[in-house]
Structure 1
Amino acid sequence: MPKNEHDAPEWHTAMKALLPVVERGGPTMFARIGVLLALNRHHVVEFNPKGKEPHWGRRKLKKDQ
């Protein structure tokens, strides 16, 4: 791993979460989350204000007629 990536704080957190798994058989989910966050640290989640479009062709219920 390149030195600049090795020094990234996300990788330090992932390594700290991985050590209890290796040494004492700790929870693997925390290590998995740490590694996934470190791998995807440059991904920016974009907010979509439009959201889900409503389905305008929805049928009415009998009780609403």
Structure 2
Amino acid sequence: MTERGWGRRFEDPIRIGDSVLVTLLDAGEYITALPKKEHAAPEWQAAMEALILVAEGGGPTMFARIGVIRAFNRPYISEFNSKGKEPHWGRRKLKRDR
């Protein structure tokens, strides 16, 4: 039978620095141990809500895992590179155009 509540394990443990978050309780304790300013960030609050919903209401632990990882990665902003790859058209010349 599967575990219920805060003792449920993540499918893949979350590695944050030296610590490893294996259960929902581990993740909840990690979030509550954060400094107050960081703990009050909307991303961490959303992660805590996801943990509570999964622990008390059931559902896949992947939702809570995604919430924690998104909150942990919040300072990193991915930038869109508009240059990217150049399109293939316009570079190749046909033999008849030489």
TM-score by length of 2: 0.48
What percentage of aligned pairs have identical amino acids? Answer: 67
Aligned partner of 1:13 in structure 2 is: 46
Equivalent residue for 1:40? 73
- Count how many residue pairs are aligned between Structure 1 and Structure 2: 55
More strand by share: 2
Could you list the runs of 5+ residues in structure 2 that have no partner in the other structure? 1-33, 89-98
Instruction: Please give the per-residue CA displacement for 1:3-61, whole angstroms capped at 9, x wherever unaligned.
Output: 10111111110011111222243221211111111001111111112223578xxxxxx
2:62 pairs with one of 19, 29, 34? 29
Tell me, in whole angstroms, the C-alpha distance in 1 between the residues paired with 2:54 and 2:73. Answer: 21
Q: AA paired with 1:26?
A: G
Question: 2:35 — aligned with what?
Answer: 2
In structure 1, stretches of 5+ residues that fail to align are: 56-65
Q: Distance in 2 between matches of 1:29 and 1:52?
A: 34
